[in-house]
Chains A and B, each alone.
Chain A
Amino acid sequence: MEGHRLQRLAAGLFAAASLMATGVARAEEPIVIGAAIAQSGIIAPYDDGPAKAMEIAAEEINAKGGLLGRPLKIIYSDTKSDIAYGATAAQDVIDKGANMVVVTCDYDYGSAAASVADGAGLIAFSTCAGDPKFGPSGIGPNAFTMATGAPGQAVAITEWAYDKMGWRSGYLLLDTTIAFDASFADFFTRRWVELAGPEGLAGKDTFGGEDPQIASQITRIKALPKQPDFIVLASFPPGGASALRQLRAAGINQPILASESWDGDYWLDAVPNLSDFYFVTYGSVFGNDTRPAVVDFMSKFEKKFGQRPVTSHALTGYSVIQGWAKAVEQAGTLEAGKVREKLEVFVDEPLLAGPTTFTKDSHINMQRDLILLEVKGGKTGNVVGIVKAKQMPK
C-alpha cells in the first residue's frame, strides 16, 4: 500500500515536471498519446483494430493542422496481455512524455494502466472496456471508456425483440466465464420482465464456456412445456460458438440474440449455415453500414492496412482520439482537469462510435446507437437497423 502511494507521488511529480516542460515547448512539438495496450499475447487481437484506427484519427487531425496547432504522435508500450504489467506499460509511456494514455479494451486488462495514468493526473481512455466500473467508481475521475456498456447493449436488443419482433417468451442461456455476460444477462432479464412480465421468461440456464458439451442444457430446453420465441445467448466465441453449434444441431432453431462479442466472421465456420442469429455491435465492418461515416472509415482502414478490421471495435479507437481531441480543443489546454470538464458535458456528441454522452459520474455510454446485425444462411453482417436502449430498467 505504502509503495503504491509512493509510486503515485513519484508519477504525479513526474507529470507535473513534464507539464512544466510542455509549457515552454515550442509550438510545433508533438502532443504525445501514450498507448499502453497489448501488442502481444492473448489480448493483442482485441487491441489491434482500435490501435490502427487511432492512427487513422491522428493522421486526419494532423492533416487539418493538428491539435492546438501541434501535431499528434502516438507512442506504444506493450502490456504483453499481462494484467500486472499494464501499470508498468502506462508508466513507460508517461515517462516518454505522454499527454494522455489509451488503455486496453477490457476492464480487467486495462484498469491497472488506467489507474497509473489517472494517478499521474492524465486522462486515461479505454477503447472498448464495457464494464460500468470503468470510470470514477472503479478507477478514478480521469478514466473514461468509449464503449457502449453491456447493460445498454442488452436493453437495446431486448426492446427490439419485444417492440419490433413482437416476441413474448424468451429463454436465457448464460455463460458463467466473464462478468460482461453476467451483466448482459442481468439487464436482459430485468428489462424483459418489465416488458413481458415474469411469465415472459420461459426459463434460464447456465453453462461454462469451456465445457465440452451442453447436452443437459439442450435437454432442458427441449423439455419445456412450450418452446420460447427466442433465446438469449450471453456468451462469446469459441465457447459460445460451440454452444450455438450444439443448439442448432439439436434442432433448436429459434432466433438467438447476443452481444458485441459476436462481431466479425472468424468464428462462423464453427456453426455451419447459421441463420436467425442477431447481435448488436458498434458498426458493420462489411462496408454496408447505414451510416456513411462508418462506411467511409472502413474503406479508409482497408486502404491503409490492406484489410478491413476484424471487428467494429476499431471504431472506438478512432473515437477515443476524436472525442479527446474535441474536448482538448474546447478546453484550449491539455490539462486533465479542464479536459475532463469538457468531456463530462458531452451530450450526444456525434462521434464515429455513436452519439456520446458523459456525465460527472458516468464515463461510459449506455443509451447509444448500436447496429443490429443478422447472421443468415451462414453469412454475417446483414444489417437489420440501428437500435438504442430507450429505457434502462429500474
Chain B
Amino acid sequence: MIVLQNLIDAVSLGAVYALAALGIGLIFSVMRLINFAHGELIMVGGFTLYTLAGQPLLVMILAALLTSTVLALGMERVAFRTLRKASPATLLISSFAVSYLIQHIVLLAFGSRAMGVAFLPELGTAIDLGGLRIPLLQLVTIAVTLVLMAGLVAFFRLSETGLQMRAAAEDFTMARLVGVKANRVIAFAFAISGVLASIVSFYLVAQTGSVSYKMGVSMVLIAFVSSVIGGMGSIAGAALGGFLVGIVSVSLQAYLPVDLRPYRDAFVFLLFVLFLFWRPDGLLASRADRDRV
C-alpha cells in the first residue's frame, strides 16, 4: 500500500516538473536558448494571483495566463530577438540578466517577505481510495498535465504552426529556406511557454499557498535538469525527463535512511551525473543535435 502511495506522490510531482521542463525544452528546441527567465514567468503568474486575490477565480486565472504570456512575448521581443544570431552562451547570459531584472523589479515592488495567498484551498483536501490518500490538487495536476501534453502533441502534429515549429526544431535554417517565418514560430513558442509557466504557477500557489520573488528559481533549475535528462531539443524528452526527476526525487525521499535524507538532492544529482555518463545526449536526443555532433 505504501509503495502505491509513494508512486502516486512521485507521479504527481513528476507531472509538475514535466510541465516546467516542457516550457524550457520548447524554447530550446526552436532557438537553442536555455531560458532561465522561465522561472520568472512562473513567478509573475504567481504574483498576478496574489494581486488579484479575492476576485472571481476565472478572472485570477485568465489574468495570470495573460500576464505570463505577455511577459514571455515581451522578453522574446526585447531581449532575445536581437540576439538571435548570437552564440548560445550569449543567449544564456542574456536570459540570466532578464531573470535577475524581473526578480529585482518584483523585489522592489513587493518586498522580500513571502506572502500568503488563498488560491483554490478546496484542492487541498484529499480523497481516500481504499486507504490511499490522493490530494485533489495532485489529481488535477496529473490530469491537466496529460491534457496539455495531448494538446501539444495534437498541435505539433495537426496545425500548420505546429508543423513549422517542428521543422524549426529539426533545422532552423532549412525551415526558413522553405518559407517558415522565424519571428512567428519563435513568438509562438514563447507564448506557449508563457502559458505553461502560468499553469505551473497555479500549481505552486495552490500547493504552497504563498508567493515570493524567488519562487521560480528552484523550479527552473529542476526543469533545466529534466530537459537535459530527457534530451535537449526533444520536446517529448523534456516531459519524460520531468517525470523521471520527480519520481527519482520522491523515491529517494521515501527510501533513503533518515540520516542521509537531508542530502537527498545530492543523491538525485549524483544519479543524473551517472546517467549522463551512460547517455550523454539524454533519453531522447533530437536528431538535429546528433547530426551536429
Contact = CB atoms under 8 A, between A and B. Distances in A.
Interface of A: 41-45, 81, 174, 176, 203-208, 210, 212-213, 215-220, 222-223, 237-239, 241-242, 245-246, 248-251, 266-272, 310
Interface in B220-262: 250, 253-254, 258, 261-262
Contacts, number: 127
A215 B210 contact: no
Contacts of B219: 212
8 contacts: A41-B112, A208-B264, A213-B207, A217-B253, A223-B2, A238-B114, A242-B208, A269-B53
Nearest to A239: B208
Most buried by B among A43, A81, A270: A270
A269 B115 contact: yes
B6 interface: yes
**Main secondary structure on chain A at its contact with chain B?**
mixed
B84 interface: no
Interface stretch (B61-69, B74-82, B117-125, B184-192): B117-125
B116 A270 contact: yes
A362 to B, nearest CB: 28
A237 B210 contact: yes
A272 to B, nearest CB: 4
Contacts of B258: 203-206
A249 B124 contact: yes
B138 interface: yes
Interface stretch (B8-16, B85-93, B154-162, B167-175): B8-16
Interface in B110-137: 111-118, 121, 124-126, 133, 135
Nearest to A264: B113
Contacts of B116: 237-238, 241, 266-271
Contact of A216 (B112, B115, B254, B262): B254
Contacts of A241: 114, 116, 208-210
Nearest to A272: B121
Contact of A215 (B12, B113, B265): B12
How many chain B residues sit at the interface, stated as a range, is 35 or more
Interface of B: 2, 5-6, 8-10, 12-13, 16, 53, 107, 111-118, 121, 124-126, 133, 135, 138, 203-204, 207-212, 215, 217-219, 250, 253-254, 258, 261-262, 264-265
A374 B124 CA distance: 23
Contacts of B111: 44-45
Contacts of A210: 217-218
A223 B204 CA distance: 26
Nearest to B5: A219
A180 to B, nearest CB: 15
Contacts of A203: 258
A44 B115 contact: no
Contacts of B2: 219, 223
A275 B10 CA distance: 29
Contacts of A212: 13, 16, 203-204, 207-208, 219
Given A222-B133, A242-B209, A251 B114 contact: no
Contact of A245 (B12, B209, B264): B209
Nearest to B122: A272
A208 B252 CA distance: 13
A216 B135 contact: no
Contacts of A268: 116
Contacts of A213: 9, 12-13, 207
